[in-house]
């Protein structure tokens, strides 16, 4: 009789062990399935983004970069009460860039634009295509980095406390890789960006 109890106990223990190995907890299987699905969706979205990026690069490579005359026609006449301090336009067959600074003492508003048209332009502006697809929200003791949207602008905005500088980057119309640097108030920085009439760039 004693041996029968021992055998019965061992048999019960074996059943419990096999039950655990065979996934007795269904919620664990559901969690694994959900994780796998999320990973698959993320992978598909990443591939779709890569495909769109490649298509945009090919499209831009076929376009002609802005001429010096076209860049000059777009230039803002002023930024608040700041004076134009520096203007540099480089216009080549496969690349066009603009650097424009407005200053007044220690206050500044700086504009840098890379025209993504042309072979070199498309390559140089390619990293900017990721800006619209990123969702940044990082804050430290020295400042922050976040994704913001203002009207048609989806931008990467960085603020540095030490210099009180805003660094704002966006890819206007999937062509013009733009960087704005300024130590004006944030609201003033964005107001002036809105007043730059980017819709006329290249027209």
pLDDT digit string (tens) for 140-180?
999 999 999 999 899 999 999 999 999 999 999 999 999 99
The two three-digit tokens of residue 127, written as one number: 């990293």
- The yes-or-no verdict on residue 43 having pLDDT over 80 is no
Same domain, 124 and 76: yes
Beta bridge partners of 89: 98
* Domain span including residue 132: 68-200
The residue with greater pLDDT, 46 or 56, is: 56
* Least reliable range by pLDDT among 9-18, 49-58, 109-118, 121-130: 9-18
pLDDT digits (tens, 9 = 90+) for 78-99: 899 999 999 999 999 999 999 9
The CATH number assigned to the domain holding 179 equals 3.40.1000
Same domain, 30 and 79: no
Same domain, 20 and 106: no
State the greatest distance between any 2 C-alpha atoms of the chain, in Å, as a whole number: 104
Same domain, 51 and 132: no
66: pLDDT confidence band, cut at 50, 70 and 90?
very high
Percent share of the chain, pLDDT over 90 = 63
The two three-digit tokens of residue 53, written as one number: 């990026």
* Least reliable range by pLDDT among 5-19, 76-90, 123-137: 5-19
Same domain, 91 and 162: yes
Of 61, 84, 110, the residue at which a domain comes to its end is: 61
Query: Do 72 and 84 meet the contact criterion of CB atoms below 8 Å apart?
Result: no
Same domain, 96 and 72: yes
Same domain, 119 and 160: yes
- The yes-or-no verdict on residue 19 having pLDDT over 60 is no
| DSSP, residue by residue, 112-164 | EEEE--SHHHHHHHGGGGGGGG---EEEETTEEEEEEEETTEEEEEEEETTTT
Q: Cα 12–16–22 angle (5° rounding)?
A: 140
- Give the pLDDT of residue 99: 98
Please give the tally of structural domains in the chain.
2
């Amino acid at each position: 009789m004693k041996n029968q109890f021992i055998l019965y106990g061992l048999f019960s223990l074996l059943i419990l062990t096999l039950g655990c190995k065979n996934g007795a907890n269904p919620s664990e299987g559901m969690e694994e399935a959900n994780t796998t699905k999320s990973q698959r969706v993320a992978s598909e979205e990443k591939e779709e983004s890569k495909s769109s990026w490649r298509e945009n690069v090919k499209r831009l490579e076929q376009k002609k970069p802005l001429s010096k005359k076209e860049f000059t026609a777009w230039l803002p006449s002023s930024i608040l009460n700041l004076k134009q301090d520096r203007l540099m336009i480089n216009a080549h067959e496969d690349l066009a860039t603009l650097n424009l600074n407005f200053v007044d003492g220690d206050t500044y508003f700086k504009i840098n634009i890379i025209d993504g048209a042309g072979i070199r332009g498309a390559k140089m502006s390619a990293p900017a295509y990721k800006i619209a697809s990123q969702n940044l929200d990082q804050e430290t003791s020295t400042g922050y980095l976040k994704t913001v949207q203002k009207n048609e602008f989806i931008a990467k905005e960085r603020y540095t406390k030490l210099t009180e500088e805003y660094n704002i980057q966006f890819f206007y119309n999937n062509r013009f890789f733009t960087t704005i640097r300024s130590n004006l108030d944030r609201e003033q920085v964005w107001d002036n960006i809105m007043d730059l009439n980017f819709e006329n760039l290249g027209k």
